[in-house]
Amino acid sequence: MGSKKLKAIVVKGSKKVKCAHGEKFRQLVKEVHRLITKSPALAEFSKFGSSETVEVTAELGILPAKNWAATSIFAPVETLGGEAHIKYTVTRVGCYGCTVRCGQVRLVKNGPLAGFLSEGPEFETIYSLGTMVGVDYPPAVIAGDRLCDEFGLDTISTGVVIAFAMECLEKGIISRKNLDGLDLKFGDYEAMLKMIRKIAYREGIGDILAEGVKRASEILGKGSERYALHVKGLELPGYDVRGAKAHGLNYATAYTGADHNRGYAIQEIFDVPIPYRVDRLAVEGKGKLCMWNQDVRTAACDSMPFCSFIFTRAFKDRALQFMSKLYGSLTGLSMTPEDVQKAGERINNIARAFNVREGFTRTDDYLPSRVMDEAIPDGASKGQRISRLELDRMLDEYYEARGWDKTGIPLRTKLVELGLSEIAKDLYHINHNINHPHKTSKQKETSNEKLRKEKPKTKTQNT
């Protein structure tokens, strides 16, 4: 859309949306609201928003800091936690029809950054523009959040790529000269805010960092790849998954890359026993759990659409039943709880088939070396990592649960079972000589493969 200068697509209808069973639907909605108001967890979520997650992750020892090198060493809960942000909150906002209203609108009222107003920052931004870059000054996080919104930058990717540059400066991979004299050190919020602008306007090294950590590390070289935290080119979110293994498996296998919104392991982070309670540090059983989170808590919820936090916090073990009843009363179409889960499974198989067709393999489901080779240095998860052996065990279990082969390719029988015969035909047509669509040396590269090999054209490529 951006390359086509397209700002938006507007669709306007002239007819009313009809409800198949109006009274039944209204009663279900009333029950939804009743359960929401009864949930202590959602009351806390309403008060603090997702900033409460700072305290939770810090207690578990999985709040990443300073490019994931100082997890539990730098964990400024007193200054960046939910309680600390309350004094900046001026009002709350929420999604249409939702009584939780978890969105916090925060204003910096005094100091050098007075006047900055932002909806948030949410937990992920407190991580990316806070602990990740060694900053523990809430007004700076609020200001950085607003700047990213104004510039159209993703806060997670922006904070992670700045932290990457900070570590590269520490390790001597880049110098202050490369940074136009900017002393981009961990903890310097003024330098962080200046770098956000440089990235937005692609000034100096900002032109390279604007490509994200994957491409930036490929351009810089000198071993900087070790400090580039991403999966499939997407920067890591704010949970140190070395201490939450199913969450880590989701980062590895989510079709968009390291995306906490594709299979959030709420069981490990908030000890929610749905579909069952788990040991966050265990490896066994995490493949099946990851699949459930991706299919049910993510794909099915997003398709309704439905809030995945309300899904497990308010409905608990009746969540799938509520979704099927709401869907049926609104549309008049019969859908069982099993059908809801199957719809989510279908979505993830379509996405996986697309990635496979474009050249992704099992090797793209691996985590960064810092996660696999380096242990968490301190705190409640001290010594934890996801080794390559552990990840391989989880991947094997995950692929088997999904009905994929050992390389992560959906089997033809699984696709047909899900009603995806045309996709199976398209996927397996890639190489008709064998039963699996592995690439051969003579095969033509897909457009995405070519893009991944090309280095972006920049004015400062020799930095």
Q: What is the C-alpha to C-alpha distance for residues 140 and 313, in angstroms, rounded to an integer?
A: 32
290 lies in the same domain as 255: yes
Residue 260 lies in a domain: yes
Asked whether residue 227 falls in the same domain as residue 249, the answer is no
> What integer pLDDT is reported at residue 316 of this predicted model?
83
Tokens of 456: 């972006």
Amino acid making up residue 342: K
In a domain, 428, yes or no: yes
Could you tell me if residue 223 is left (phi over 0), alpha (psi between -120 and 50 degrees) or otherwise beta? left
> Residue 19: inside a domain, yes or no?
no
Start-to-end CA distance of the chain, whole Å, equals 30
Distance CA 268, CA 53 (A): 13
**Which residue has better confidence, 262 or 430?**
262
Cα dihedral angle (313, 317, 319, 321), rounded to 10 degrees? -160
Residues 231 and 276 in one domain: no
Residue 461 domain flag: no
Q: Kindly state whether residue 31 falls inside one of the protein's structural domains.
A: no
169/207 same-domain check: yes
Question: Which ranges of 332-432 does DSSP label H, i.e. alpha helix?
Answer: 337-357, 369-373, 388-402, 412-417, 421-428
Q: Give the mean pLDDT of 6-14.
A: 93
Contacts of residue 339, defined as CB under 8 A and 6 or more positions apart, other chains included, come to: 324
Dihedral-angle region of residue 459 (phi above 0 means left; psi in -120 to 50 means alpha; beta otherwise): alpha
Stronger pLDDT, 305 or 286, i.e. the higher one: 286
Please check whether residue 332 is in contact with residue 326, taking contact to mean a CB–CB distance below 8 angstroms.
no
Integer Cα distance of 245 and 365 in angstroms:
14
- Give pLDDT, residue 373: 97
10 Å CB burial of residue 90 (0-12, 13-18, 19+) is exposed
Residue 298 has what DSSP assignment?
I
Whether residue 292 has pLDDT greater than 50: yes
CATH of the domain at 253: 1.10.599.10
Q: Please confirm whether the linkage preceding 368 is cis (ω < 30° from 0).
A: no
Q: Provide the phi-psi class of 376: left if phi over 0, else alpha when psi is between -120 and 50, else beta.
A: beta
Contacts of 260 (CB under 8 A, 6+ apart): 124, 237, 238, 239, 247, 250, 251
Percentage, residues of the chain above pLDDT 70: 93
Residue 21 within any structural domain of the chain: no
CA 375 to chain CA mean position, Å: 22
Query: Over the stretch 70-98, which tens digit does the pLDDT of each residue have?
Result: 999 999 999 999 999 999 999 999 998 88
- pLDDT mean over 42-60: 95
What value does the mean pLDDT take over residues 127-132? 98
Structural domain includes residue 138? yes
Cβ atoms of 164 and 171 within 8 Å: the answer is no
Pull the structure tokens for residue 415. 């696709």
Task: Examine the domain organization and report whether 94 and 220 are in the same domain.
Answer: yes
Domain identity same for 296 and 311? yes
The mean-pLDDT minimum among 10-24, 185-199, 302-316 falls in: 302-316
For residue 173, the enclosing domain spans: 42-238
Residue 275 and residue 376 in one domain:
yes
**Residue bearing the bigger pLDDT, 461 or 195:** 195
For residue 275, cis peptide bond before it (omega within 30 degrees of 0): yes
Sign of the CA dihedral 377, 263, 235, 118?
Answer: negative
Which range is least confidently modeled, 178-182, 264-268, 398-402? 178-182
Would you place residue 317 in the very low, low, confident or very high pLDDT band (cuts 50, 70, 90)? confident
Do 173 and 116 sit in the same domain of this protein?
yes
| Sequence letter at residue 149 | D
- Chosen domain end from 238, 257, 287: 238
Torsion of CA 160, 58, 184, 370, to 10 degrees: -50
Q: Are residues 291 and 184 in the same domain?
A: no
The token pair that represents 439 in the structure block:
């690439």
pLDDT at 3: 87
Which helix (H) or strand (E) element contains residue 119?
Answer: strand 117-119
- Clarify whether residues 69 and 162 are in a common domain: yes
Per-residue pLDDT band for 457 (boundaries 50, 70, 90) equals very low
CATH code (residue 232)? 1.10.569.10
Residue 1 lies in a domain: no
What does the pLDDT read at residue 434?
39
Span 229-233, mean pLDDT? 98
What average pLDDT does the segment 164-187 reach? 96
Task: Count how many domains the chain has.
Answer: 2
SS3 at position 230 = strand
pLDDT value at residue 445: 44
Residue 310 token pair: 């309300």
pLDDT band of 430, cuts 50, 70, 90: low
- Indicate the Cα dihedral angle 265, 270, 271, 275, nearest 10°: -40
Three-class secondary structure of residue 92 per DSSP:
strand
In the block, which residue shows the tokens 């939804």? 32
Q: Is the pLDDT of residue 463 over 70?
A: no
Residues 66 and 185 in one domain: yes
Tell me the pLDDT band of 1, cut-offs 50, 70 and 90.
Answer: confident
Residues 277 and 231 in one domain: no
By residue count, the chain amounts to: 463
